[in-house]
Amino acid sequence: MSSQPRRVENLHTDKGKVPVYATGIVEQPWDGYSDDDHATWATLFARQREVLAGRACDEFLQAQDAMGMTPDRIPKFTELNDALMAATGWTLIGVEGLLPELDFFDHLANRRFPVTWWIRRPDQIDYIEEPDLFHDLFGHVPLLMNPVFGDYMEAYGKGGVKAHGIGPEALQNLTRLYWYTVEFGLIRQHDGLRIYGAGIVSSAGESVHALESAAPNRIGFDLERIMRTRYRIDTYQKTYFVIDSFQQLMDATDPDFTPIYARLAAQESVPAGTVLAGDHVFQRGSGEGWSSEGDV
């Protein structure tokens, strides 16, 4: 953003006062992070990098290094923004938490990525329900350095604004696409399956599960199939979808979705763990440990 928006209030938090601007954007209270906060970042960062070697796609790991994300301390958004701006023109903005959908889409459509400013408490190190700084920054931000993936995220934001105008069912279809790509996507690399989804790379357990467990299905990317598929929010995914490249994602999502939403409205949704006749199955899951309830 070129001009600084008007400051409207302060959030009163355990880090002291956090400035909030008229747009709802929060200034990263970097000096307010405690030693515990930096230690949480360092612990999670070191642990994930160890798990992700040979598991996350090369683009992710290289981008994280290239943008200067290290375990030493919680990164400053302003510093990451210099690297992002030079690479792809993306900007990080601080937020308190999840945004209203339309605001979120509008930010993405303008190459602004909202990042939760606070990090989980030490006792939440293995699991936290809401996205925090570690999930957003470690998980989502590196791939914004990638030109094709960066374009996909912007296109997704524009598609979100459009779907929002069409209605809740279109929005649900689009949300499933986000879930199975941006959050839980796998990619086929020259040497086998790798992870690119932020929900996986920010979770030690799911990073192993997504690639190595016999339980889940691993199925080739298919746009309409994904947009019909329900998902899990409180357990590991029952199904992961595999792309061949970020360009495939870009090309497959380029067409106008309006007729696709209309077509999907007439079809049943697919439960999270179901394998369909037309699927390109890399692995049919054993279903071990699955609970029958709870698909969203």
**Residues with catalytic function:** 135, 140, 183, 202
Contacted by 159, from Fe ion, ligand PHE, none: CB < 5 to 8 Å by type: ligand PHE
Q: Could you give the angle at which helices 204-212 and 35-52 cross, rounded to 10 degrees?
A: 10
261 contact, one of ligand PHE, Fe ion, none, CB 5-8 Å limit per kind: none
Per CB under 6 A, the list member of 11, 155, 215, 275 interacting with ligand PHE is 155
For residue 56, which phi and psi values (nearest 5 degrees)? -80, 155
Q: Is 176 in the site for ligand PHE (CB under 6 A)?
A: no
Contact partner at residue 156 from Fe ion, ligand PHE, none, CB < 5 to 8 Å by partner kind: ligand PHE
Question: Environment class of residue 277 by beta-carbon count within 10 Å: exposed (0-12), middle (13-18) or buried (19+)?
Answer: exposed
What's the CA gap between 151 and 134, in Å, rounded?
A: 23
- Count of positions on this chain that bind Fe ion (CB under 5 A): 1
Per the DSSP assignment, residues forming a β-bridge with 20 are 9, 26
The contact mask relative to ligand PHE for 177-206 (x = CB under 6 A, - = no) is x-----------------------------
Question: How far is the C-alpha of 116 from the C-alpha of 28, rounded, in Å?
Answer: 9
Q: Which C-beta is closer to ligand PHE: that of 25 or that of 227? A: 227
Tell whether residue 135 is among the known ligand binding residues: yes
135 contacts ligand PHE (rule: CB under 6 A): no
* Torsion (CA) 247, 202, 102, 227 in degrees, nearest 10: 50
Question: Rounded to 5 degrees, what are φ and ψ at 201?
Answer: -65, -20
Query: Do the annotations mark residue 140 as ligand-binding?
Result: yes
Angle between helices 147-166 and 168-178 (to 10 degrees): 160
Which residue number is nearest to ligand PHE in terms of Cβ?
Answer: 159
**Shortest Å distance, C-beta 122 to Fe ion:** 22
Q: Should residue 159 be labelled a site residue for ligand PHE when binding is judged by CB under 6 A?
A: yes
- Residue 139 or 159 with smaller CB distance to ligand PHE: 159
From candidates 256, 268, 288, 293, binder to ligand PHE by CB under 6 A: 256
Which pair of tokens denotes residue 1?
Answer: 């953003």
As measured in angstroms, the least distance from the Cβ of 112 to Fe ion is: 15
Question: What is d(CA 18, CA 12) in angstroms, rounded to the nearest whole number?
Answer: 6
Nearer to ligand PHE (CB atom), residue 120 or residue 162: 162
At 239 the three-state DSSP class reads strand
Candidate residues 142, 257, 272, 295; the one interacting with ligand PHE per rule CB under 6 A: 257
Least distance (Å) between residue 178 CB and Fe ion: 9
- Of the pair 198, 264, the CB lying nearest Fe ion is at 198
- Distance (Å, rounded) from C-alpha 164 to C-alpha 62? 34
CA torsion angle for 195, 198, 203, 207 (degrees, to 10)?
Answer: -10
Residue span 176-215 as binding mask against Fe ion, x where in contact by CB under 5 A, dash where not: ----------------------x-----------------
Task: Please name which of 63, 76, 290 lies closest in space to residue 198, comparing C-alpha atoms.
Answer: 63
CA distance 272 to 225: 11
d(CA 200, CA 212): 13
Annotated binding site for Fe cation: 135, 140, 183
Q: Which residues bind ligand PHE (CB under 6 A)?
A: 152, 155-156, 159, 162, 177, 253-257
Q: Which residues bind Fe ion (CB under 5 A)?
A: 198
